[in-house]
Chain A
Amino acid sequence: MVKITVAGLSIWYDEQTAIKNLSLQVSEKEILGIIGPSNSGKTSFLRTLNRLNELTSNCKTEGEIQLDGKSIFKEIDLLSLRKLVGIVFALPLPLPLSIYDNIAYGPRLRGEKNKSKLDGIVEKSLKASYLFDEVKDRLNTSAFNLSGGQQQRLCISRTLANEPEIILYDEPCSGLDPISTAKVEEAMRDLKKNYTQILVTNNTKQAARVADRTAFFLMGELVEIGDTTKMFTSPSDKRTDDYIAGRFG
């Protein structure tokens, strides 16, 4: 079942091309990994999926992206899109609020006021990212008091509290130690049951561990996309092979 269709997508910042004529499809409830060297357009692509790149004033987009057959530019309004598509950034970015308030932020924005409902959402989201046991006694303390790994899982919970259908990850473990990274990856695998996930990462090994399919971006172009195991053992394109083998990067 196709969840997301990208057709002929191009992205520019002023004169610089970030993405050239990109077309791909994302299946429902899969984890799609996106790898490639810096400046290959991975993050630009990711941020177009929830139209976050529109915040950058000199960004221009062309082409089409469809979610369940509906255009995200023309048929789905911005606020609904941001509910459907959640994002976890590279640096953990808790809001300057308590742990509870961070997670309740999204639901409250949508008008949810019922305290017991909010409690339920908070608990469910924290459990889904394997954070609940560690923080259940201090939900009202500042989110800044958590460790890096915990903050990142908090951000995942926060995204989950919005009940999205798709979760985007922009190099989520880049600042984390191996143990926290393992916990985040475990959460991702668990979330496959209910969510479609797209993971941008500079760490090819992470893609190998976690992604069902992987896409290789190079200088704004999609070079190759396919089953992860196959791509890592016998990629079709030489450039993919060179990158994965570490001959450039």
Chain B
Amino acid sequence: MKNLFEFIVEKAIFLSGAASIIFVVLIFIFLLKEGLALFGEVNFFAFLFGQNWYPISDPPQFGILPLIMGSVFVTFGAIVIAVPLGLAAAIYISEVAPHSIRGFLKSGIELLAAIPSIVLGFIGIIFLAPLLKNIFHLGSGLTALAGSIMLAFMALPTIVSIIEDAIVSVPRSYKEGALALGATHWQAIYRVTIPAAASGILAAVMLGIGRVVGETMAVLMITGNAAIMPTSLLQPVRTLTATVAAEMGEAVSGSSHYYSLFAIGIVLFIISFIINIFADIFLHRSKAMKRRKK
């Protein structure tokens, strides 16, 4: 009787684990099925590298290069803001802050993650866009920069959390060794602890990128959704995600516009996938380093 129970539990656990992988594969297959249908009507290179996105015109043009550039610019801007801030915050929390406020600070940053992205988008429209407009004398504050700033807030909790973990996992003995040799606290931190936590820091950056690339609501509200090839962060952009969100409702099932949005989905899936693989590699290396210490 016991053996039967063991057997059932084992199989149930196996099925649950297998189920998650199966779902991902099924989603990807569905994406592929609907997305690849586009390339029966549209040239693949015209899609990937075309600079004109006019999906409901006659004849329609499905060039997504401006959309890719839009996502790239917004993501890049967000990371440039969030990583130094996140690194500084993580170092402060793990190395400098007195024990008593450490927990309080960590909770505070995690609270940022609890803010729904649409609320951040709303704050962006009401406060940030007019502010940027005045500071930079722009026609409108709805720009890639507005998106980057708001997305940096979203990515910050992830980045701080992972970097802080990485720093705390660096064996205390490394820092002691440096201090015993006469390093000051800061010298020990930036010459020994940070390089030792490098893999973890890289993993945090990659996961931050992953978080930002997939963000939809906030960018839809504050980046202006103009499908231009951006040359600076102070211009409006249109991201891959916002395009799908804005146009999916209207695209009639079975039309080439419909397929093109799924094709964008494939592009997003691949980007996310690659980022996550790299993050995994870096996280792995950071764990291997811990194990190396005999």
Contacts and interface: CB of A to CB of B under 8 A. Distances in A.
A–B proximity contact (CB within 8 A): yes
Interface of A: 50, 52, 55, 57, 79, 82-83, 86-87, 89, 91-96, 105-106, 109-110, 144, 148, 155, 158-159, 162, 175
Given A57-B99, A79-B184, A175-B294, A93 B179 contact: no
Nearest to A110: B182
B196 A96 contact: yes
B177 A89 contact: yes
Interface string B254-294: 00000000000000000000000000000000000100111
Interface string B144-187: 00000000000000000000000000010110111111111001
A191 to B, nearest CB: 17
A55 B173 contact: no
A106 B191 CA distance: 12
A95 B174 contact: yes
B192 A89 contact: no
Contacts of A159: 180-181
Contacts of B174: 93, 95-96
A212 B285 CA distance: 46
B178 A105 contact: yes
Give the top 5 A-B pairs by smallest Cβ distance, nearest first: A82-B182, A106-B181, A93-B177, A93-B173, A87-B180
Contact of A106 (B171, B176, B182, B294): B182
Contacts of B180: 50, 52, 82, 86-87, 89, 159
A89 to B, nearest CB: 7
Main secondary structure of the interface of B (DSSP, over half): helix
A55 B196 CA distance: 20
A102 B187 CA distance: 14
Nearest to A58: B99
Contacts, number: 60
A82 B176 CA distance: 11
B185 to A, nearest CB: 9
A83 B177 contact: no
A99 to B, nearest CB: 14
Nearest to A161: B181
A95 B192 CA distance: 7
A82 B179 contact: yes
Nearest to B184: A79
Contacts of A105: 178, 181, 183, 191
A159 B184 CA distance: 16
B183 A109 contact: yes
Contacts of B184: 79
A148 B292 CA distance: 12
A162 B179 CA distance: 12
Interface string B57-80: 000000000000000000000000
Contacts of A93: 171, 173-174, 176-177
B182 A96 contact: no
B108 interface: no
Given A89-B177, A94-B177, A110-B182, 8 more contacts: A91-B173, A91-B294, A93-B174, A95-B192, A105-B181, A155-B177, A162-B182, A175-B294
